Amino acid sequence: MEWQYSADTVPSSLVTDAQARSLLGKPPVTGAWRDGDPVGRRRFTDIGALDLEAGGRLPAVRIAYETWGELSPAGDNAVLVVHALTGDSHVAGPSEPGHPTAGWWSGIVGPGLAIDTDRWFVVAPNMLGGCQGSTGPASLAPDGSEWGPRFPYLTIRDQVAAQVAFSDRIGVASWAAIIGGSMGGMHVLEWGIDHPDRVARLGILAAPPVTTADQIALNSVQVEAIRTDPLFRGGDYYDADAGDGPSRGLALARRMALLNYRSPSELNLRFERGWQSDITPLGGHGRFAVESYLDFHGNKFTRRFDANSYITLVEAMNSHDVGRGRGGVDAALALVTARTLVVGIDSDRLFPLDGQRAIAAGLGGVPVVIESGYGHDGFLIEYEAVGRQLRRLLEG
């Protein structure tokens, strides 16, 4: 199989000198976007206070977002794209000041592409609790200090409530489509169930109807990796000097996550037992290529993410259960009226096909299964196959 590589998936054996140099020096205390940083292509909207499902309250919420295309006079061509756990609003576009990485779906969103910005008005917000401009733990609380560990517990439904208020503020009464993968797909499901009158089409990619015990267990060890970093300081690390934040714990959490995002066959075929040293593996020195790959991406991640935000978003993902308080999964899915596309990746070991089959069955159909060696990340990488299905959804 011939593997495709994007800027964010390049293996260590293909890392350029420029990429390696970008990780030299001390890591920042947080990779969050902060007020005063280059804005890039972001826009900002304040949605006011938000009461939370578990009983907490955020007194003021800001949503950072990006747009492509133009809203039609009738307002009937708006498409909401919702990112996954570690994504952000930068769906398409180059790496530039304000955006440390290129758009995460540049092969899907753009002129003439599957989500054609010559036809559709595409909006991508950074989700509530994120760290790239929207209100989250790295944002300033009313007392002028970062929220940090004081940031309230969020659920997927809280994040969707923020997206609903955001939609109102930017003047979108209904969406022609709402599309998202992984954690974003959880948001799409909640939109279709709770706000059926506000969306015509749903695109749910590589997402489950509930977060299972196995998935919660995988998430728990990532959270613990961050919390046990002595430089985490209980979440109060923002005043530390560069290099004195919980970068090791956050990088380790990212390494763990990557093992769930990619497939065993990809790692085995890409790296085999490649060695990055003249000393033999039996000598106990040097590193296997796959170890360096994980290291590179763990360290890179600390330059663009925040440890507290990672915990907040993972815990929100753990809350996901569309059947909670609705009589079960099937009863919840029966509330969906939108035309719906459900896509699964055959090699996904994070959110296996059982989840997509359950969603599709509850909607009276079957999922589209994409064959890919990339595992869960296939929905981000298989542009042609994913794009073909999204075109079908949007043209129908």
Q: Please, what are the averages of pLDDT over each run of 10 residues along the chain (396 residues)? A: 36 43 76 96 98 96 98 97 98 96 97 98 98 98 97 98 98 98 98 98 98 96 98 97 94 93 79 65 66 86 97 98 98 98 97 98 97 96 98 94
Task: Give catalytic status of residue 182 as yes or no.
Answer: yes
Identify the three-state secondary structure at position 333: helix
pLDDT in the model for residue 14 = 44
CATH code, residues 12-395 = 3.40.50.1820
- This prediction has a pTM of 0.92
Task: Give catalytic status of residue 195 as yes or no.
Answer: no
Cα 4 from Cα 259, distance rounded (Å): 18
Residue 122: φ, ψ to 5°: -100, 130
State how far the alpha carbon of 187 is from the alpha carbons of 56, 281, 316, in Å.
Answer: 20, 45, 11
Q: Which stretches within 105-263 are classed as H helix?
A: 156-169, 183-194, 213-227, 247-261
pLDDT in the model for residue 165 = 98
Per-residue tokens: 35: 């007020």
Residue for token pair 């952000």:
88
Task: Give catalytic status of residue 348 as yes or no.
Answer: yes
Which of 182, 263, 309, 319 is labelled catalytic?
182
Which of 90, 348, 372, 377 is labelled catalytic?
348
pLDDT in the model for residue 188 = 98
pLDDT in the model for residue 6 = 37
Residue 134: φ, ψ to 5°: -80, 160
Which of 158, 167, 376, 377 is labelled catalytic?
376
pLDDT in the model for residue 3 = 34
pLDDT in the model for residue 281 = 52
